[in-house]
């Protein structure tokens, strides 16, 4: 249910309402009544283009295709704030779930970043070793060549006589 829009991880109002066990209409009513609790970094409305893209990419959002309303997108903070204004038992329980989902995503991203950092270190080490092995190979190459053939001995006598 968590998707990436405008460089942020968000959950749409219909999905959040489902998580909190309330109708989407009621969630949006409460957000309007408590507008001061939802600054722009907590919630934003999708554009027509974003709505079309989300509907095309997310199968569970096909019912938004024919809706005249543009859905609201809640950031992590907006989803938590929505739970505080709904005050239903489901909202309280689900707010804990939503927080854990976002935290788990953040931990996975941090773990991936750490893995990428370690891979970069390994790659650097391998390149250094490759250079060192190349130098060693160049120095060993002359030693691996077979020795030159000894001069051939002449058959017979070598006579260098006096007086000839």
- Could you read off the pLDDT of 66-75 as tens digits, one per residue? 677 888 888 8
Asked if 27 contacts 71 with a C-beta cutoff of 8 angstroms, the reply is no
Q: Using one digit for the tens of pLDDT, what is the confidence trace for 6-64?
A: 888 888 888 888 888 888 888 889 889 988 988 888 999 888 888 888 777 776 676 67
> What's the pLDDT score for residue 161?
65
List, in sequence order, every beta strand (DSSP E) within 6-132.
Answer: 8-12, 43-45, 72-74
pLDDT of res. 163:
57
pLDDT of residue 114: 85
Would you give the distance in Å from CA 27 to the centre of its chain? 31
User: d(Cα 80, Cα 4) in Å, to the nearest integer?
Assistant: 17
- In the chain, where does DSSP find H-type helix? 13-20, 24-33, 48-57, 76-86, 89-144
3-state secondary structure of 4: strand
**Mind listing the pLDDT tens digit for each residue in 106-164?**
888 888 888 888 888 998 888 888 888 888 888 888 888 888 888 887 777 767 766 55
Segment 93-107, tens digit of pLDDT: 776 777 788 788 888
């Amino acid at each position: 249910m968590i998707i990436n829009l405008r460089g942020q991880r968000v959950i749409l109002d219909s999905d959040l309402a489902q998580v909190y066990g309330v109708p989407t209409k009621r969630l949006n009513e409460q957000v309007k009544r408590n507008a001061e609790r939802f600054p722009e970094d907590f919630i934003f409305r999708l554009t027509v283009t974003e709505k079309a893209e989300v509907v095309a990419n997310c199968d569970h959002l096909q019912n938004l295709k024919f809706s005249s309303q543009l859905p609201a997108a809640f950031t992590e903070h907006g989803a938590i704030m929505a739970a505080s204004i709904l005050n239903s038992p489901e909202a309280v329980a689900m707010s804990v779930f939503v927080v854990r989902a976002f935290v788990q995503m953040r931990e996975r991203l941090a773990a991936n970043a750490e893995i990428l950092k370690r891979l970069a270190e390994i790659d650097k080490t391998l390149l250094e070793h490759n250079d060192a092995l190349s130098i060693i190979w160049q120095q060993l190459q002359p030693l691996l060549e077979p020795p030159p053939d000894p001069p051939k001995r002449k058959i017979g006598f070598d006579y260098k006589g006096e007086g000839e």
